[in-house]
Amino acid sequence: MNTRELITLSFNAIWGNKMRSFLTTLGITIGVFAIIVLVSIGSGLQAYISSQISSLGPNIMDVIPGNNLMSAFGPGTQNKFTIPLAQKLSDRLAPIAQVAPLAEVLTNVKYKNVVDKNVYAIGSTYNFPKAVVYGKTIMGRWFSQGQEQSGSKVAVIGYTVYTKFFSNKNPIGEKIFVGNEKYTVVGVAEKNGASLGVDHDNVVYIPIEAVHSQFGVDRLMEIVVNTNSENNVPIVKKQINAILSKDLNPDEYSIQTGDSLSKTLSNITGMLSLALGGIAAISLLVGGIGVANIMLVSVTERTKEIGLRKALGAKRKDILSQFLLESVMLSMTGGIVGILLGMIASIIIAMILVSSVTFWSVALAFCFSVAVGIIFGMAPAIRASKLSPIDALRYE
Amino acid sequence: MKKNSIIKMVDIAKVYDGGEFHTQALKDIDLDVESGDFLAITGRSGSGKSTLMHIIGLLDTPSSGKYILNGTDVSKLDEDEQALQRNKEIGFVFQQFNLLPKLSALDNVILPSIYAGTASKERTEKADMLLTMLGLADHINKRPNQMSGGQQQRVAIARALMNDPELILADEPTGNLDTASGDDVMKTLKQLNKEGKTIVLITHEHDIALQARKILHLEDGRLIEK
Ligand SMILES: Nc1ncnc2c1ncn2[C@@H]1O[C@H](COP(=O)(O)OP(=O)(O)OP(=O)(O)O)[C@@H](O)[C@H]1O
Ligand SMILES: [Mg+2]
């Protein structure tokens, strides 16, 4: 019996029992779907995090309020980071490191008749472009120390704000409203991208004093310190500790370097991926048991057919490969459908969250589903091939 | 000139041994069937006719004794070699037809040649020819449940002829048919015998047995010549 005949035979058996085949493959489909989606989310998260870390850069440190990374997301210790504290850090660390404080507030921006009510106004200093990786301007210039000290209402707009309000026009020198105050646009910041559904370019950068006086924000989100060279990171870290420990308790601030950050995060995502993989594996196992079950039923149901085929000259391996191929085809079909659905789902998820389909997860899922077919189809197929022709023929 | 034996059995016995029962289905069977013969085996129900046919057809193994089929001692063959012998040397016709319900008449007839490895075009032509020869040209693409019993049995005969076996084994081939269809089947078997096939026919109907050239009678597992 050649391969083409075997395939036709198995296909006919599957097709002849559409509902049952569908339900069997569904188990595999769900398992494979889970693998693809969960792995995509896991690796998307990992990619997102490493991109965030690389945007931090090897010679850049984040000094954040609270004692660890998590407190930046939830209620931790009380935030003791003030503008004067950042100023002090900036003065003491110059010239070896550049310091930029960051404070933000959600507000509305208006230009002519167009209003956007969901723009972050980020307060920082003239030092921002020197301290922050993405702090370059693609049009105009960043506001100067002079403008900042004289209390000028000047703004550098993010790329999204630029395209939304000005499309192709030159925005430099135009007046926009940030909150209730009129600002002059002096520059357009380079694209920073979007992550976790947040557009980092739908922002306006204004002097930090303005955030304080206009919006009443006096606490900082973080202080960015750029040492210009990776070699200086340890010294500067020591100096920051020396300066801050005079005013703050050790649990009221922490210093994140690219290194420490990636360690913490890869621990978290590693655990997460493991847990997700475990869930996916269990569902695939359940799918596999479903295949085994159906194949056993199929062998029992077709005992008479097996007997007849043997009587007509089918050898053991003919029967074995017939049933094995049938279970592999069932699982493989389930696998392919699962992969397609998983890829579609991952792409949709990528639009709102992070996720990225990886080649290896697709390959793994495919191999897994074929393996499930072989492993769980083996026992029923062997059982079928061992039936004696006459016992099988007499079976009712 | 003596023709060569196609079936030669010496002292064959078959015992079914279950937990509570012990049935001696066949004993002291000595059988010699010459090539080209037409043998009928009769006997009461339970006398061992089917058991004997299953052993002749290599579907079952004897408990003891020696069986030489077409010059080969088949008791020494392994499962796959027996499958090969069944495939090449023997055509079966069963009382219950035993056609696969999901296959067309044509595909049912083709089955044995698939396991013989015949090329696809060649076997389709052959199956087509056989079905036409047996008067089923209009039923080639029908499934078994779309045909009468007589037609189904003729499909089964076509299937038995597919690999050109020397030996045709028929266990009550007319048992499920009315007289007219039964006569048809018998005519076909006689014709095949004329063309050189060796035929072993099992039946409990006396007038059917009379159409064979030789009749053997089974009684409680023993062969008696009549
Ligand atoms: N698988 C089996 N296990 C146990 N006993 C069996 C088995 N098959 C047949 N027998 C017994 O062997 C004896 C012969 O059975 P067999 O089927 O050969 O009879 P038969 O002559 O074909 O009868 P019938 O004309 O009714 O078909 C019977 O007594 C039967 O009960
Ligand atoms: Mg019988």
Residue pLDDT, tens place only, A128-154: 888 887 778 889 999 999 998 898 999
Chain A, nearest residue to B159 by Cα: A312
Q: Report the distance separating Cα B12 and Cα B52, nearest Å.
A: 9
Strand partners, A121: A105, A204
Q: With contacts defined as CB-CB under 8 Å, which chain A residues touch B117?
A: 1-2
Report the pLDDT averaged over residues A366-389. Answer: 86
Nearest-CA residue for ligand 1 atom 14 is B48
Residue spans per domain, chain B: 5-225
Task: Give residues whose Cβ lies within 5 Å of ion ligand 2.
Answer: B 50
Is residue B43 within 6 Å of ligand 1 at its C-beta? yes
Interface test with A, best of B79, B88, B108 (most A CBs within 10 A): B79
CB contact under 8 A, A318 and B115: yes
pLDDT at A167 over 90: no
pLDDT tens digits, residue range B94-109?
A: 999 999 998 999 999 9
Q: Count CB neighbours of A177 within 10 A.
A: 15
- How far does the CA of residue A30 sit from the closest CA of chain B (Å)? 31
Chain A, nearest residue to B85 by Cα: A313
Residue spans per domain, chain A: 3-51+265-394, 81-247
Q: With contacts defined as CB-CB under 8 Å, which chain B residues touch A16?
A: 102
pLDDT tens digits, residue range B71-129?
A: 999 988 999 999 999 999 999 999 999 999 989 999 999 999 999 988 989 999 999 99
Query: Nearest 5°: CA angle at A146, between A142 and A152?
Result: 75
Tokens standing for residue A160: 């999204």
Report the pLDDT averaged over residues A389-394. Answer: 87
- How far does the CA of residue A314 sit from the closest CA of chain B (Å)? 6
Q: Report the distance separating Cα B13 and Cα B25, nearest Å.
A: 8
Residue-level pLDDT at B61: 92
Identity of the residue in A1, A16, A304 whose CB atom sits nearest the CB atom of B114: A1
List Cβ neighbours of A245 (8 Å cut-off, separation of 6 or more).
none
Q: What are phi and psi of A100, to 5 degrees?
A: -135, 120
pLDDT at A71 over 70: no
Tell which one of B27, B50, B176 to mutate to probe ligand 1, the residue whose CB is within 8 A of the most ligand atoms.
B50
Interface of B with A in 47-76 (CB under 8 A): 54, 57, 59-60
Question: What is the band of B1 on the pLDDT scale with cuts at 50, 70, 90?
Answer: very low
Tokens standing for residue B64: 């003891």
pLDDT tens digits, residue range A221-257?
A: 888 888 877 788 888 888 888 888 888 888 888 888 7
Report the pLDDT averaged over residues B39-67. Answer: 94
Model pTM above 0.80: no
Please determine, looking at this structure, whether the domain spanning B5-225 carries the CATH number 3.50.30.50: no
Strand partners, B224: B217
Residue-level pLDDT at B124: 95
SS (H, E, C) chain A: CCHHHHHHHHHHHHHCCHHHHHHHHHHHHHHHHHHHHHHHHHHHHHHHHHHHHHHHCCCEEEEEECCCCHHHCCCCCCCCCCHHHHHHHHHHHCCCCEEEEEEEEEEEEEECCEEEEEEEEEEECCCHHHHCCCCCEEEECCCCHHHHHCCCCEEEECHHHHHHHHCCCCCCCCEEEECCEEEEEEEEECCCCEECCEECCCEEEEEHHHHHHHHCCCCCCEEEEECCCHHHHHHHHHHHHHHHHHHCCHHHEEEEEHHHHHHHHHHHHHHHHHHHHHHHHHHHHHHHHHHHHHHHHHHHHCHHHHHHHHHCCCCHHHHHHHHHHHHHHHHHHHHHHHHHHHHHHHHHHHHHCCCCCCHHHHHHHHHHHHHHHHHHHHHHHHHHHHCCHHHHHHCC
Beta-strand relationship, A194-195 and A203-207: unpaired
CB A37 within 8 A of CB A356: no
Q: Report the distance separating Cα B189 and Cα B186, nearest Å.
A: 5
Taking the centre of ligand 1 as the mean of its atom positions, its distance from the CA of residue B96, in whole angstroms, is 16
pLDDT tens digits, residue range B8-32?
A: 999 999 999 887 888 999 999 999 9
